[in-house]
Amino acid sequence: EAGVAQSPRYKIIEKRQSVAFWCNPISGHATLYWYQQILGQGPKLLIQFQNNGVVDDSQLPKDRFSAERLKGVDSTLKIQPAKLEDSAVYLCASSSSGQNTEAFFGQGTRLTVV
Amino acid sequence: AQSVTQLDSHVSVSEGTPVLLRCNYSSSYSPSLFWYVQHPNKGLQLLLKYTSAATLVKGINGFEAEFKKSETSFHLTKPSAHMSDAAEYFCVVSVWDYKLSFGAGTTVTVRA
């Protein structure tokens, strides 16, 4: 079974530039998550999709972050414009439906904003 | 809303000695609980999960955790630490909305 795919693995940009991350979840998984993990902290949920609908985006800084999940499969997370404090690892995860199912995580994208 | 508190930010053990990582949770609903491990520059890997079946859960690599509802705890243990266990460990709670809430993490260091 193929895992969650993310790209790119690493990205360095200057502040005020824009950046986009891509995620391909495990086939058939209805739930997709984007997390932000700042160095030394636990992952923080940015947005949660159920199929192509948004379940929770309460912690997504909507003035600069946006995310979409076209056709309920792949997802893209965008930051525009980036700030220094956006430097973090961005993790994508997916799970099948059901409370007791675990989430499977991708390798993450390490973003450095200079 | 649910939340998780990992009581130790850092645990240091000698190789071959037991490991104990403590986790308390708060939830208004029956929770599912998970432990994930993250090795440096690697993704998060599931160690084990509790889903309202047996309260003692066995996971991969010799880890196990016990769900104690009366204490709202889900502590992770391993009888004998190995050098390869050095990593970051996260306790995670989930309820009916499938939202995963992470603890702050515990860094495990294993001394030779």
| Span B10-35, average pLDDT | 93
Asked whether the predicted pLDDT for residue B31 surpasses 90, the reply is no
pLDDT band at B42 (very low <50, low <70, confident <90, very high): confident
d(C-alpha B29, C-alpha A13), whole Å = 42
Show pLDDT as tens, one digit a residue, over chain A (114 residues).
679 999 999 999 999 999 999 999 999 999 999 999 998 888 999 999 998 899 999 999 999 999 999 888 999 999 999 999 999 999 999 998 766 788 999 999 999 999
Instruction: Judge whether A114 and A95 are in contact, CB under 8 Å.
Output: no
In angstroms, the first-to-last Cα distance of chain B is 41
Nearest CA distance, B32 vs chain A (angstrom): 6
Query: B46-85, pLDDT tens digit by residue?
Result: 999 998 778 899 999 999 999 999 999 999 999 999 999 9
Which of A20, A22, A24 shows the shortest CA–CA distance to A4? A24
Query: A68-83, pLDDT tens digit by residue?
Result: 998 889 999 999 999 9
Q: Which two tokens stand for residue B63?
A: 């880890």
- A-facing residues of B in 83-112 (CB < 8 A) are 90, 94-105
A102 with B49: Cβ contact below 8 A: yes
